[in-house]
Chains A and B, each alone.
Chain A
Amino acid sequence: MVRRFLAAGLFIFLLHLPVFSDEIENRLQTVSLFGSGENLSFTILMTINSPRGIKERTIEAYMQQDESGSNILLQVIEPVFLRKLKFLQKKDKKGRETIWMAASSGVRRISGQNSGERVFDSDFTVEDFSSVNTDTYSFTELPGEAVSNKTMDVILGDLLKPRGAEITRKKLYIDSETDMLMQVDFFSFRGDLVKRYKVIETQIKNGEPFPRICRMDTFGDKSYTILTVEKIDSETAVPANKFNPGSL
């Protein structure tokens, strides 16, 4: 259970979501209640498809959760010239989140203003990899829907201050059986479907379900990015310096 939540959170990590209903709140709170002391590392193949062509990146992802909070590090391994590209997200036990991006020009913090910045030139943005700010969205539960012959719990998140934002609404689909986040639809202020994240294929590792292939579509740019999780290691401890901004 712990790992399936963590794996889902690697791609669209939703912790401490503000909710109107206690039921939804309790449901989403379980995400943050599990995973204490867990270490996970992934090797991910990122394939970026755009009208300009296809690009591939190999990414190493590290995740850690304990009672003090959670950490996520993504770093490009290939191509070699992008090795300095890194993404670090740290969240303390109160859910306060800090994000750094490293590039050849140095390390910089990412503010809310830059949350739309693309990560590693892909269709995923900083906001997609980070959690939803507790002051940013309000959530309501919708009737369940069937997607790919599976019953999904559906939660609708509306941006509290939508003015000027590109994406103002998110619709989350969660597998009722595995509690894995299977799909997110991103809507503009006009209600147009702007982006879609979807788990295409899952896999079992040590008896726990993980996403294996997932896809993010950006409809306006006619581009999409596919993440293929190639290796999962849940036993090796991740060195503490991986999650320290001073070592980026």
Chain B
Amino acid sequence: MTKIISFSEEIANLEQAVQQHQQELVELEERYQQFNIQTHDARRALEELRTTLGISPKTTRGRRARAAYGASALETNPDSGRPARGARRAQIEAICRALSAEQDSFRTAEVIEQIRHLEGDLSSSLRSYVYALMTTLETEGVLKKVGHGRWQVIG
């Protein structure tokens, strides 16, 4: 039996699917922006409230937070405002290994959550760095992608 492929029909179907996904993407981006602004404002308000009431903030410079995962908040260079070279990568790797020891696989969001817990806040550039590093660690054979958006430590 011969199957006739209509290119124009296939292309039209694909373009329609792209349009639909693009609409959904716009909605997701709007939702993300809304959540991002709300959570950022709420976190700042909570920190201000803690300061006003004289309750020590969750993470302070003198008493760095330490997660149950063995990784700790990073000291930053006062001049550059950045941690020592390689320190962030080591911190993320340590979190990945700890999460992997606890459960079969883990998501990037869980790594981000741990960093937020350690550092008290998380910039969008650091979040992007985590995503990029996860891919690098996969290329280097440290991590393996399993299932949909989940990771396992193999190296």
A and B are partners in one complex rather than unrelated chains: no
